[in-house]
Chain A
Amino acid sequence: MSAAQAHALGVEPLPSATCYALADCNNFYASCETVFQPKLAGQPVIVLSNNDGCVIARSQAAKALGVTMGQPAHELSALITRQDIVICSANFALYGDMSARVMEVLAHSAPRLDVYSIDEAFLDLTVVPPSRRARYAARLRATVKQWTGIPVSIGIASTKTLAKAANDRAKKLPAGILSTSSWRYARGLRNSRENCPRRCSHEHDLV
């Protein structure tokens, strides 16, 4: 079977020219707080905007309790008391510093880095041989976690958009990494509205 035939059958992805990874920090602001208050690990934590107006970040446990992004804090007072949710007032000086550290670690080991927001960056992995990309990402993820304490998820794909979508799925995997062939993934995207990349930007811990 030729490569093209295998591709047509969905068995083999065509070798792609470009490869991007999106490294995105998990629950970034809440993770920053947890680095310096380790007892918050696993707890429902929310970070509130300036003057404690509304929710701008949620730990995994807080998401599970149904706290939504941008929700006004006063709507949550009953839930906060009932579930013992930890509230952090936004500390942007800290988040900015931690972001710079994460980006520096990424820049250190990536051939080309494109900082996309305070907690995410695209890495150009085109020069990394395909067979090594997953291991490369795993090592990168471990280094960022050790050096900065921030957990990141990494989505790898042939375009930035697909890398973003892959990242959204990577977040739900224990390994935190998803490498995907563009063709197969594009089909997956068409088949399910849930996987639409626009959706992941809504899910983002940023306003």
Chain B
Amino acid sequence: MRERRETSGFPSPAEDHIEETLDLQQLLIKRPSATFYLEMTGNAMRGLGIYDHDVLVVDRSQTPVLNSIVVIVLDGELLVRRWCPQPGPGRRLLLVAAHSAYPVLDVTPEMSCEVWGVVTAAVRRGL
């Protein structure tokens, strides 16, 4: 609650109803110390509504579940894909784009692949 400001004229009728300003950070970020903003490059996730230059809100404290949108480190490069571990003994992992031009990546155990974080929101500027 804001501190009451003294006015020389008529006091604001809204004085008792002032709340905090809406804050996007509060809305989009659950764990600030583990959340980072990354800028999307390319159209690999277009089908899920993530476009080139969108700002991704990435929470590193979350563990991905099937179909999470994740930021992946694959052979040193950052990638945004859907996280699709396959059931069965092979423990295969598929990284699926949301654009027909991008092939499904079949991650073999020899590849260096690590989850960087889970995308929890995307912000589009300049609409």
Among B20-28, B73-81, B84-92, B100-108, the one that faces the other chain is B73-81
> Cβ of B33 < 8 Å from any Cβ of A?
yes
CB distance from B13 to the nearest CB of A (A): 40
**How would residues 81 to 113 of chain A score, 1 for a CB under 8 Å from any chain B CB and 0 otherwise?**
000000000000000000011001100100000
A147–B77 Cα distance when bound, in Å, is: 19
CB distance from B105 to the nearest CB of A (A): 16
Chain B binding site: helix, strand, loop or mixed by DSSP?
mixed
Of the candidates B34, B77, B114, the one whose C-beta lies within 8 Å of that of A148 is B34
Of the candidates B32, B33, B77, the one whose C-beta lies within 8 Å of that of A38 is B77
The total of interchain contacts (Cβ-Cβ below 8 angstroms) comes to 30
The answer to whether B60 and A147 touch across the interface, beta carbons within 8 angstroms, is yes
When distances are taken between beta carbons in the complex, the residues of chain A under 8 Å from B34 are 101, 105, 146-148
The answer to whether A147 and B61 touch across the interface, beta carbons within 8 angstroms, is yes
When distances are taken between beta carbons in the complex, the residues of chain B under 8 Å from A104 are 32-33
CB distance from B118 to the nearest CB of A (A): 11
Given A38-B116, A148-B60, A149-B60: A101 touches B77 (CB 8 Å cut-off): no
CB distance from A51 to the nearest CB of B (A): 28
Contact residue range for chain A?
A: 10 to 19
The answer to whether B33 and A101 touch across the interface, beta carbons within 8 angstroms, is yes
When distances are taken between beta carbons in the complex, the residues of chain A under 8 Å from B77 are 38-39
> Cβ of A61 < 8 Å from any Cβ of B?
no
> Cβ of A41 < 8 Å from any Cβ of B?
yes
When distances are taken between beta carbons in the complex, the residues of chain B under 8 Å from A41 are 76
When distances are taken between beta carbons in the complex, the residues of chain A under 8 Å from B60 are 146-149
Q: In this complex, which of A38, A39, A101, A148 has the most chain B Cβ atoms within 10 angstroms of its Cβ?
A: A38
Given A147-B33, A148-B34: A39 touches B61 (CB 8 Å cut-off): no
A104–B116 Cα distance when bound, in Å, is: 19
**How would residues 3 to 23 of chain B score, 1 for a CB under 8 Å from any chain A CB and 0 otherwise?**
000000000000000000000
A159–B78 Cα distance when bound, in Å, is: 42
A101–B116 Cα distance when bound, in Å, is: 16
CB distance from A48 to the nearest CB of B (A): 22
CB distance from B90 to the nearest CB of A (A): 25
The answer to whether A148 and B116 touch across the interface, beta carbons within 8 angstroms, is no
When distances are taken between beta carbons in the complex, the residues of chain B under 8 Å from A108 are 33
**How would residues 10 to 50 of chain A score, 1 for a CB under 8 Å from any chain B CB and 0 otherwise?**
00000000000000000000000000001101000000000
A147–B117 Cα distance when bound, in Å, is: 9
The answer to whether A38 and B61 touch across the interface, beta carbons within 8 angstroms, is no
When distances are taken between beta carbons in the complex, the residues of chain A under 8 Å from B116 are 38, 149
Nearest B-chain residue to A100, judged by Cβ: B33
Given A104-B33, A148-B60, 20 more pairs with CB closer than 8 A: A38-B77, A38-B78, A38-B114, A38-B116, A39-B76, A39-B77, A100-B33, A101-B33, A104-B32, A105-B33, A105-B34, A108-B33, A146-B34, A146-B61, A147-B31, A147-B33, A147-B34, A148-B33, A148-B34, A149-B60
